Structure 1
Amino acid sequence: MTLPLRFAPAALDQLAQVSAPAPLADAVRLFSFLDLLPDPRGVRGRRYPLSALVTAAAASVLAGARSLTAITEWIGDAPTWARRTLGFPVDPLTGAVSVPHPHTLRRLLVRLDGDALDRAIGAFLPARATPAGPGLRAIAVDGKALRGSRTATTPYITLLAAMDHDGHVLAQRQVSDKNNEIPAFQPLLSTIDLTGTVVTTDALHTQHAHGTYLRERGAHYIAQVKANHPGLFDRIRRLPWSEITLDHHDRTRAHHRLEIRRLKTAAFAHLDYPDARQALQVVRWRKNFTTGKLTIERVYLITSLPPGAATGVRLAAWTRGHWKIENLLHHVRDRTFREDDSKIHIGHLPRIMAGLRNLAIGVHRRDGHTNIAAALRHTARDYRRPLTALGLTG
């Protein structure tokens, strides 16, 4: 994926300039992206480089820090060589490396530009990844409320995120509440190269303007249709689905339940939605062996993919894969990082902490870890591990 114009040239030019012990020849260093963040501090009194402070916070979260207190404790306990690698100033007379007081870091993170940080993270993660293989890349868009982020004007803030179906966050944007996700959709995706992608969304984002925007950006879409779009929903629901050939059938048995999923597709000559070419029906049968309860759910979707552009297996994987953003991102932040239990609600702190957690999850997944909790414990046992993961050491 190409880097956003704001980050690509300067970031790549700086790769050979950042000093670190035994750097890898092809390392992509977080420093190169964080150096481009706007510094909210005054010109006077900048004792610690902005990139050093944010990189140290990021490294601590990679090692499992869940709170601002845990971050400052991790930095304070860091050995001298780690402090030097992070870029903290060295006393020329004694060789001692000082670290910031907890209030210094807190004051910075409260005022840090969350959009800029998320853009930097969204540029860093793809840059350190191996190039994607051929075929369309799936991206899910969904929002998450930060339950512990109550402010004087809102009960909580909501973050709208774009994540590929492998679990890597590509962009994130803060909105004031769930109802304001719609106008944030296009700004969220504006920093991502959407060429050769298929974007999956829930019914909230099945908007004509969104469909037009995605097609203009070179992306396809798979969008869920519910009763909040009554005309479109009624037309798709009333198709003769019982007469349409089955495209895909899947049967799984796990977690004390049996689940059967059936997918059918129907081509349209015209549908009142930008470039819509097919309608999809997904029928899910779930039987709980513990309670004996059987549930049947029918889901309807539309897509700009023309007939034959993707197999039934691929379409089923994309429709099911959309909810990975819940399991691979939101669930991990809630359960592993205890995000909803956090009482951080001052300034930009909730947004910044969420961004750092996205970075940690993305880095660990890029490095092949599927169990993020185990990856955090592994990383916490050696200060060199988070620094290496961020490209600071070899």
Structure 2
Amino acid sequence: MPSGLGQLALPNLHGTPQDAADLRRFLIWVPDPRGHRGRRYPMLPLLCAAAAAVLAGARSLIAIGEWTTDAPPSVLADLGFPPDALTGIRAVPHPATIRRLLQRLDGDALDAAIGAYLRARTTPPQPSEPPSKPALRAIAVDGKTVRGSRTRTTTAIQLLAAMDHHGVVLAQRQIASKSNEIPAFQPLLDTIDLTDTLLTGDALHTQHAHGAYLRKRGAHFLAIVKKNHSGLYAQVRKLPWADIPLDHSTRDRAHHRDEIRRLKVAAFRHLDYPGARQAIQIVRWRRELSTGKLTIERVYLITSLTVFDATCTELATWIRGHRGIENLLHHVRDHTVREDDSKVRTGTLPRTMASLRNLAISVFRQDGQTNIAAALRHTSRDHRRTLSALGLT
């Protein structure tokens, strides 16, 4: 990876806020995998065209090529395609040109550029009064399998993503073959500033090394404890929960069921986990409205937050917010943009396409869009809408 990528975490932002949201200022750090001979088109316009096409709803390489072919000359100019020296006409690249580039891109470099762009695009709110304590930014970490990338000889590609609870993807990393998410956890978060953040994850990431790493980086954690960590699970489960008063309770009716969630918190400094300060018990009562079937589920968590760092209402909100990485990202990629139906398998294409989809979904979330399908239809009706969203005009 080129040394210039080290600047992605803190890009040169000595311009206007509009400059900070210009995608080109970040994609320029992605190295060109092509040889110097035979380059008819610069890499940056090709990458910008691919990103804009996915933002307009392109689900495949063919669709990306069609969007670029249909782009008017003014759009090609904004993308950066050079004019012919004699005629002044801007030639449109063949879809195979874009495909050959995307299948050879450095996936880590592309994800780093996209993550830096999305972080620069986010303007933190300015409080009217100094807060009594720093507001924590909640980040969820979870993995996803790109099922369409499976071949007869290779398993499907697995990607681990970090997403804030508002639906913006901050980082992504490919999991090594014959491995799992655990070794990729720390490299994934190395690219993110974890100051005043709270990490949520599933039980797989309730690892002692992860807890120590997060506390060293200045981040808090909210970790699920299950029987795969038998000693810690027994320690938390055997706390005198019956004698601990109820701290928070909610009742919701949705998805054809009634659900009651009861939360209790116990401050406990001798938990066998680095930096753990509180244990949490959640009891979920669910009744199916159609059948009347009642299920009761108990979930245990630990957190490095103290009673002074967060209220019980905030804890309950963050615990439920972790589901957002499934609902706001993975579900959209599976069902709205049909990622699992894609059969691209060559080189780094599966990861590259997933990265471009993360970019599109995150840009829509940052712009306040809640219906991603409607947002895709809206941008597809005008080439300039995608360029405006990406800061290319």
TM value normalised by structure 2:
0.94
- 1:203-282 correspondence runs (5 A): 203-282=203-282
Whether 1:296 and 2:301 are equivalent positions in the alignment is no
Partners in 2 of 1:225 and 1:323 — Cα distance? 16
Contact 1:12–1:32, Cα closer than 8 Å, also in 2: no
Q: Which runs of 4+ in 1 moved over 6 A?
A: none
Partner of 1:172: 172
Partner of 1:363: 363
Partners in 2 of 1:9 and 1:99 — Cα distance? 34
C-alpha displacement at 1:132, in angstroms?
Answer: 4.8
Deviates more, 1:147-156 or 1:82-91: 147-156
Alpha-carbon deviations, 1:117-173, whole Å to 9, x = none? 111110001111111565000000000011101145432111000000000000000
Letter in 2 for 1:7: L
Partners in 1 of 2:204 and 2:28 — Cα distance? 36
Partner of 1:28: 21
Residue in structure 1 matching 2:34, options 13, 18, 41: 41
Residue in structure 1 matching 2:99, options 94, 102, 106: 106
Alpha-carbon deviations, 1:261-319, whole Å to 9, x = none? 11111111211110110111111111111122211111111101112311110000111
Partner of 1:124: 117
Partners in 1 of 2:161 and 2:9 — Cα distance? 21
Partner of 1:336: 336
C-alpha displacement at 1:327, in angstroms?
Answer: 0.2
Secondary structure at the aligned position of 2:180 is classed as helix
Alpha-carbon deviations, 1:186-206, whole Å to 9, x = none? 000000000000000111011
**Corresponding residue pairs, total:** 382
Contact 2:173–2:188, Cα closer than 8 Å, also in 1: yes
- 1:313-324 correspondence runs (5 A): 313-324=313-324
Partner of 2:55: 62
Secondary structure at the aligned position of 2:89 is classed as coil
Partners in 2 of 1:132 and 1:201 — Cα distance? 26
Q: 1:343 to 1:366 in 2, by over 3 A?
A: same
Deviates more, 1:185-194 or 1:174-183: 174-183
Partners in 2 of 1:151 and 1:176 — Cα distance? 16
Partners in 1 of 2:116 and 2:355 — Cα distance? 13
Alpha-carbon deviations, 1:30-57, whole Å to 9, x = none? 0000011011000112221111111100
Contact 1:11–1:33, Cα closer than 8 Å, also in 2: no
Contact 2:200–2:222, Cα closer than 8 Å, also in 1: yes
Partners in 2 of 1:212 and 1:106 — Cα distance? 42
Letter in 1 for 2:103: V
Partners in 1 of 2:125 and 2:251 — Cα distance? 29
Residue in structure 2 matching 1:95, options 64, 77, 88: 88
Letter in 1 for 2:23: L
Partners in 1 of 2:82 and 2:207 — Cα distance? 51
Partners in 2 of 1:9 and 1:240 — Cα distance? 47
Contact 1:169–1:362, Cα closer than 8 Å, also in 2: yes
- 1:177-188 correspondence runs (5 A): 179-188=179-188
Contact 1:143–1:178, Cα closer than 8 Å, also in 2: no
Letter in 1 for 2:251: R
Q: 1:177 to 1:248 in 2, by over 3 A?
A: farther
Contact 1:261–1:282, Cα closer than 8 Å, also in 2: yes
C-alpha displacement at 1:177, in angstroms?
Answer: 5.3
Q: Could you say what the CA RMSD is over the residues aligned between the two structures, in angstroms?
A: 1.6
Partners in 2 of 1:223 and 1:121 — Cα distance? 27
Partners in 2 of 1:113 and 1:9 — Cα distance? 20
Q: 1:30 to 1:214 in 2, by over 3 A?
A: same
Q: 1:286 to 1:222 in 2, by over 3 A?
A: same
C-alpha displacement at 1:9, in angstroms?
Answer: 5.8
Alpha-carbon deviations, 1:195-223, whole Å to 9, x = none? 00000011101111100000000000001
Q: 1:27 to 1:271 in 2, by over 3 A?
A: closer
Partner of 1:136: 136
Contact 2:13–2:20, Cα closer than 8 Å, also in 1: no
Q: 1:268 to 1:178 in 2, by over 3 A?
A: farther
Partner of 1:202: 202
Contact 2:205–2:223, Cα closer than 8 Å, also in 1: yes
Alpha-carbon deviations, 1:47-90, whole Å to 9, x = none? 21111111100000100001111111100110000011101111
Percent identity over the alignment?
68
Letter in 2 for 1:6: Q
Partner of 1:20: none
Deviates more, 1:295-304 or 1:87-96: 87-96
Contact 1:247–1:312, Cα closer than 8 Å, also in 2: yes
Partner of 2:131: none
Partner of 1:19: none
Partners in 1 of 2:18 and 2:320 — Cα distance? 39
Letter in 2 for 1:123: A
Partners in 2 of 1:379 and 1:49 — Cα distance? 25
Contact 2:13–2:19, Cα closer than 8 Å, also in 1: no
Q: Which runs of 5+ in 1 are unaligned?
A: 17-23
Partner of 2:129: none
Contact 1:281–1:299, Cα closer than 8 Å, also in 2: yes
Q: Which runs of 5+ in 2 are unaligned?
A: 127-133
Partners in 2 of 1:276 and 1:91 — Cα distance? 63
